[in-house]
């Protein structure tokens, strides 16, 4: 996925929201930061989240208009099983974040598999800043002519809402144990280096747009942060 000879899913390793340096391991996400733990981030004391635009106020969106947003259909082939465990919340606002966060991650992997850094589906679920970051992540695969195969469970989600439910942070973990990259031309399959922790913790900063869609602003990750 991202670096040569390494599996990088979303954090630069072989097999990973929306890449790390060529020396980093497995599926982590473009910028690596220290996260507290899988699911990280507790209650914030401020409505300002680093990376989220804080200029004009986000338009108020009704539940009906959010439901009516023309979300793109995202299809992932059976060669890559991206599963979401316990991806539910009894709170409808948190569930909306989970739903769009899930589709954003699916759109990213679909773009990798389709060899399409300019994916329109991913652009739908990303802000301009988020899309710039995710395109670099996708290109870390496409530039090396590799795709992703195997299975990647996504689990332990935790949502924190801010600024009258117009900004959010979504934390979750992935397990790259059974995720691999495959060269499109030679068919060579590569997994994470022996001894590397297969679990990666992610924190995704999101904000709601005028259509009521939760878009990704930035993604950070830490390998081994899910214990």
> What secondary structure does DSSP assign to the chain, as a single string?
--STTS--SSSSS--------TTS-TT--SEE---SSTT-----SSS--TTS--SSPPPP--HHHHHHS-PPP----TTEEEEETT---SSHHHHHHHHHHHHHHHHHHHHHHTT-TT-HHHHHHB-HHHHHHHHHHHHHHHTTTEEEEEEEEEEEEEEEEETTTTEEEEEEEEE-TTEEEEETTT--EE-PPTT---EEEEEEEEEE-TTS-EEEEEEEEEETTT-
What residue has token string 């996925």? 1
Beta carbons of 207 and 167 less than 8 angstroms apart? yes
Per-residue confidence of the chain (227 residues) as pLDDT tens digits? 333 333 445 554 555 433 332 223 333 332 222 222 233 333 333 333 344 443 434 445 545 445 667 999 999 999 999 999 999 999 999 999 999 999 999 999 999 999 999 999 999 999 999 999 999 999 999 999 999 999 999 999 999 999 999 999 999 999 999 999 999 999 999 999 989 999 999 999 999 999 999 999 999 999 999 97
Could you count the other beta carbons within 10 Å of the beta carbon of residue 34? 9
Q: What is the per-residue pLDDT for 9?
A: 53
pLDDT, residue 152, reads 98
Q: How far is residue 134's CA from residue 129's CA, in Å, rounded to a whole number?
A: 9
Residue 14 confidence (pLDDT): 53
- What per-residue confidence (pLDDT) applies to 227? 74
Q: How much is the pLDDT for 101?
A: 98
Q: Are 16 and 1 in contact (CB under 8 A)?
A: yes
Q: What is the pLDDT of residue 132?
A: 96
């Amino acid at each position: 996925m991202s670096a040569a000879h390494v599996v990088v899913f979303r954090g630069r390793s072989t097999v990973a929201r929306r890449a790390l340096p060529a020396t980093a391991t497995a599926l982590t996400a473009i910028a690596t930061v220290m996260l507290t733990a899988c699911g990280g981030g507790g209650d914030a004391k401020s409505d300002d989240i680093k990376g989220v635009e804080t200029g004009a106020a986000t338009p108020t969106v009704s539940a009906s208009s959010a439901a009516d947003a023309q979300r793109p259909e995202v299809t992932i082939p059976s060669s890559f099983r991206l599963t979401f465990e316990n991806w539910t919340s009894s709170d409808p606002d948190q569930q909306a974040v989970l739903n769009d966060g899930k589709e954003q991650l699916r759109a990213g992997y679909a773009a990798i598999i389709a060899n399409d850094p300019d994916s329109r589906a991913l652009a739908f679920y990303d802000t301009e800043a988020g899309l710039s970051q995710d395109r670099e992540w996708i290109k870390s695969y496409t530039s090396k002519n590799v795709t992703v195969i195997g299975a990647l469970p996504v689990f332990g989600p935790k949502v924190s809402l801010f600024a009258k439910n117009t900004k959010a942070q979504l934390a979750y973990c992935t397990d790259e144990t059974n995720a691999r990259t495959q060269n499109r031309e030679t068919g060579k399959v590569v997994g994470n280096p022996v001894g590397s922790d297969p679990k990666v913790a992610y924190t995704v900063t999101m904000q709601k747009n005028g259509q009521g869609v939760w878009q990704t602003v930035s993604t950070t990750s830490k390998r081994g942060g899910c214990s």
